[in-house]
Homo-oligomer: A and B are copies of this chain.
Amino acid sequence: MKIVTRSDLPSLRRSVDQGTEEQRRAVKEIITEVKSRGDEAVFAYTRQFDEVSLESLKVNPDEFDQAYESVDGEFVEILTEAAANIRSFHEKQLSQSWFDTSSDGTLLGQKITALDAAGVYVPGGTAAYPSSVFMNVIPAQVAGVDHIVMCTPPGEDGKVPAGVLVAARILGITEVYKAGGAQAIAALAYGTETIPAVDKITGPGNVFVALAKREVFGDVDIDMIAGPSEIAILADESAASTEIAADLLSQAEHDARSSSVLITTSAVLAEAVNNAVEEQLNDLPREDIARQSVKDYGMAVVCPTMQDAVDTVNEIAPEHLEILTSDPYQQLGKIKHAGAIFLGPYSSEPVGDYFAGPNHVLPTNGTARFSSPLNVDDFVKKSSVIAYSEEALKKNVDKIARFARLEGLEAHARAVEKRKERWK
């Protein structure tokens, strides 16, 4: 871990993986094939990429049952409690339609409607996280999306990991399809005989998934393309160095490109955290990944004042921010850019990954400057409502017509003026 001063802080922004020319071409071809050949193409790509010949794309009820029987009761209980917490938090995000009336009879408003259908992509293998199933599905359910489906690549045994199926069943999701990569994204965007087309696709994936999401964006909506995980910890001398080290490593173990940064007013703390990180690294199962991440993107930034430290946080705009100062609430109002903010020593970052309730799908790579955690608003859309009254139009028709003519749009002017014939 490097210890640097604020002025020496290198940019932590990393270019989004746009893939190679060859990958982009492959993705375009896969999308074209799935669009024109449907299920047949999905089966073929599954044989090619996942090396398994499926008999059917849809996970059947027996497979759900087997998954459920393969896990212990306590696991189901923990998952069920986590799901309830996540649901409870997201229910508070629900927006309401509203309207405003004028005494002249006019009504203006905004109508909120859930999307018809949402598709969740769950990556395969070791990255097939039950928590991701919760974080992507629950906001859509709370929003009122009627039709939610999941796609995930099958393992070599043709099966979907038990944890994923158990998580889906806890949420009442029954439509899970064995399809991964760009072919899954294409199927969700355009539909096949078996896999239904949806209006929005969310969920993380490898570079092929990310490129395919970029490609179908506009025909359907997508969530943000996620980069490697990040944590920034804002701390003063009151913080515990071993806790900081443990929390930094919880992000470092995700990916060799993850970044974990301590921002502190205390050079002593920076030194102690550096030592604790070295010590704790030694017996981590994912030591290699974490060590590489700490080496390349781990850093302690020593700042002369707390205001400097806060400014540094805002420049980074981290995905996760922990505030471990003697007065964490005092700093909250100064934080402008962060995906999720964890206050105080008991809010270790993994508390938010699994259990507390807020979403763990968060803006990475500085995009917290302009984007938000995945939330219920991502699964609804608004329609403006305009019910102009006769009185309002009488009063304003000439102004509206004048405005339209100033913009050179005569037919616009005539449309509103056409109503004047009613008053002759």
Contacts and interface: CB of A to CB of B under 8 A. Distances in A.
Contacts of A285: 408, 410
Given A381-B370, A411-B252, A419 B243 contact: yes
Interface stretch (A30-38, A170-178, A299-307, A329-337): A329-337
Given A110-B93, A384-B359, A78 B353 contact: no
A412 B163 contact: no
B375 A382 contact: yes
B78 A399 contact: yes
20 contacts: A75-B402, A78-B399, A111-B341, A113-B336, A129-B407, A131-B403, A218-B225, A243-B418, A250-B415, A329-B387, A340-B385, A341-B386, A342-B387, A343-B385, A344-B388, A346-B390, A348-B416, A355-B396, A355-B399, A362-B384
A248 B358 CA distance: 46
Contacts of A130: 406-407
A151 interface: no
A354 B404 contact: yes
Contacts of A79: 403
> Which label, helix, strand, loop or mixed, suits the secondary structure of the A interface?
mixed
Within the oligomer, what is the number of copies of this chain? 2
Given A115-B370, A353-B412, A354-B400, 9 more contacts: A92-B100, A110-B358, A218-B225, A250-B409, A335-B383, A345-B419, A349-B415, A355-B399, A356-B388
A259 interface: no
A389 interface: yes
Interface in A222-277: 224-225, 242-243, 246-247, 249-250, 252-254
A296 interface: no
A113 B313 CA distance: 15
